[in-house]
Amino acid sequence: MIEPADLTWRGGQPFARDFNDIYHAPDGAHEVQRVFMAPAQIEEKATTAAARGLTLRIGELGFGTGLNFAVAAAATLMASCRLHFISFDSRPIAADAFAEITRQRRAGWPIYADLKRAYPPLLAGWHRRVFAEGRIMLSLYWGEAGEGLADMANRQHQPIDAWFLDGFAPSRNPAMWHEGLLRQVANLSTAGTSVATFSASGAVRRRLEACGFSMRRVDQRPHKRESLAGTFIPPGLARQPVAQRAAVAGAGIAGASIARHLAEQGVAVDVFDPAQSIASGASGIPAALLHPRLLGDGSPSAAWRVHAYAYSQALVGRFPGFLESGVLQAQGPNLDAAKMRRIASAYAGSGMVEALNSAEATQASGWPIGGDALRFPQSGLVEPKTLTRALLDHPLINVQLRRRAPCGAAPLALACGGAVRLCAAAAFLELVEVAGQMDIVAVDERPRLPVVSNGYLVPIALGVAAGATFEHRPWPVEEATAHNLRQLSGRRHRWVGRARASRAVASDRTPIVGKLAEGLTVSCAHGAMGMTTAPFAGAIVASHWTGDFPPLERCVEALVDPARFRRRQARRGYRLGASA
């Protein structure tokens, strides 16, 4: 967790007590226009980008109340331009305080209502959110700007078109204005990149000039004397071409997530699947859960799980097929009382998880819970086929069933479970197909919300979905049914049916997401958490193709990188049928 801003209100305006400074002048949006938008030539840049079919990229130091973002988003939408807005904040505003800001501003700036619904938890690192049917992409880094910029280095392959330097005054926030950080800004710029800041400090001007910006003073009277703006002169970072058409192998949740992210970035996508319908594999089960199975140890694995969950929950909320019911996780084989306390402590104040005692858990779920539990209020029930269908419903997505992706198609994303190894470049991946079964029963009593413990019970229209087995070797179906229905504790029920499917699992139980070769990426091995991790993986894979950095820190990206198997195989050989 990261420390939130110490925000108060003075004269009806937000004020940062920790920096003893205002977030913006009382005229708010007008100040944004005269200090940032006009001097940085955002409207002109947006018009040019739209005419060329490009995405406009704006970098900002100091997200604050989100006002610069809201004004820039409105301008780019008016210009029919896609926007990627990248911002950094070491002391972000907490969700409850942001809700009050939203209440005051959403009438004039509707994107605030969307931002409030998808506002990131106070977790250090990257948070990406998408608005306006994918035309507006927001990447937020909660933490020191220098650390975030360093994390972008060599991963952001498209230049930033404009910079808003909107940290608090240099005398009150010197860390935001030193030359080393401004040089990081310059390293992500290209010839013609504009910069604008409210500061008129001579030291700031000289530092920006030393980094390659040609600076000028901007008259701000009668509000203040002047501000600064400028243009980057050196060649800088070259803009990379983006493929206009791409292919995806797999029409399940992983493939649909990739396709949707690409289509919303203006890329036409052909989705291939040899089956007769979409979501024919593990994505075709009647019900699934989107909940995180958090870790409380601060590891890259913990960061992967919590950031994937936060992203995917915000994303699927845009589409039919998701019901935010809340999920209760009780003690079980993978969650003892000590681990539960660590998780509750690690994410206290995030709004993502609540610790309940046995009585509270029983009351919340309407189901007997024998010990402490965790409730995830924003988690919920997914109808996988409905969600997959909705993700694929885009004019730039062409689904071709009963067909495998053509050999040599490029760029190509493999998102077809264990079948990814049919591609020679993916033969080294260590994964195995694990069978699982869900049983559906009609019952007189059922929990009010999904309950996860040694298996899960999910209330659905037909009664309860009980699951799911994890069968390294397929079990007899009746044995799997008996295993699942133990959770009913002898309650009267009528068996209705079952669903079986296989999900791919990697040798280290971690998804495989990233680049395999030039023009070839992969998203697979999501295992039992596919509804939580596959949508996030879609954003990562799409970023590789569009030239934007993936929305996770470098150390977390390494965790899921396919190349990890190459390094291990050099030491101990191949496993699970992998080959050179």
Is residue 369 included in any domain, yes or no?
no
- 90 lies in some domain: yes
Q: Please, is 502 exposed, middle or buried when counting C-beta atoms within 10 Å of its C-beta (0-12, 13-18, 19+)? A: middle
pLDDT at 343: 95
Per-residue pLDDT of 385-419, as tens digits, reads 999 999 999 999 999 999 999 877 889 999 999 99
Q: How far apart are CA 577 and CA 399, in angstroms?
A: 31
* Pairing mode of beta strands 380-382, 373-376: unpaired
Domain count, the chain: 1
User: Is residue 207 in a domain?
Assistant: yes
pLDDT band of 244, cuts 50, 70, 90: very high
Task: Report the C-alpha gap between 13 and 17 in whole angstroms.
Answer: 12
CA separation for the pair 99, 113 (Å, rounded): 9
Is residue 315 in a domain? no
| 94, part of any domain | yes
Confidence of residue 169 (pLDDT cuts 50, 70, 90): low
The whole-number average pLDDT for the span 264-289 is 93
Question: Is the pLDDT assigned to residue 490 strictly greater than 90?
Answer: no
- CA 248, 254, 256, 259 dihedral sign is negative
Output the pLDDT for position 425: 94
Which residue type, as a one-letter code, is found at position 279?
A
Q: What is the rounded distance in angstroms from the CA atom of residue 85 to the CA atom of residue 138?
A: 5
Distances, alpha carbon 442 to alpha carbons 312, 321, 438, in Å: 30, 22, 14
Confidence at residue 166, expressed as pLDDT on a 0 to 100 scale: 86
Q: Kindly give, in sequence order, each residue whose CB lies less than 8 Å from that of residue 565, ignoring residues fewer than 6 positions away.
A: 428, 429, 430, 507, 578
Residue 71 lies in a domain: yes
pLDDT at 26: 74
Given pLDDT bands bounded at 50, 70 and 90, which one contains residue 173? confident
Instruction: Confirm whether 439 is domain-assigned.
Output: no
User: Looking at residue 209, which CATH number applies to its domain?
Assistant: 3.40.50.150
pLDDT tens sequence across 432-469: 999 999 999 999 889 999 999 989 999 998 899 998 89
Q: Say how far apart CA 154 and CA 237 lie, in whole Å.
A: 10
Q: In which domain, by residue range, is 119 found?
A: 7-232
Gap between the Cα atoms of 408 and 520, Å rounded: 10
Answer yes or no: are the C-beta atoms of 551 and 544 closer than 8 Å: no
Q: pLDDT, tens digit, for every residue of 38-91? A: 999 999 999 999 999 999 999 999 999 999 999 999 999 999 999 999 999 999
pTM: 0.95
Q: What is the pLDDT of residues 317-340, one digit of tens each?
A: 999 999 999 999 999 888 888 999
Residue 225 domain-assigned (yes or no): yes
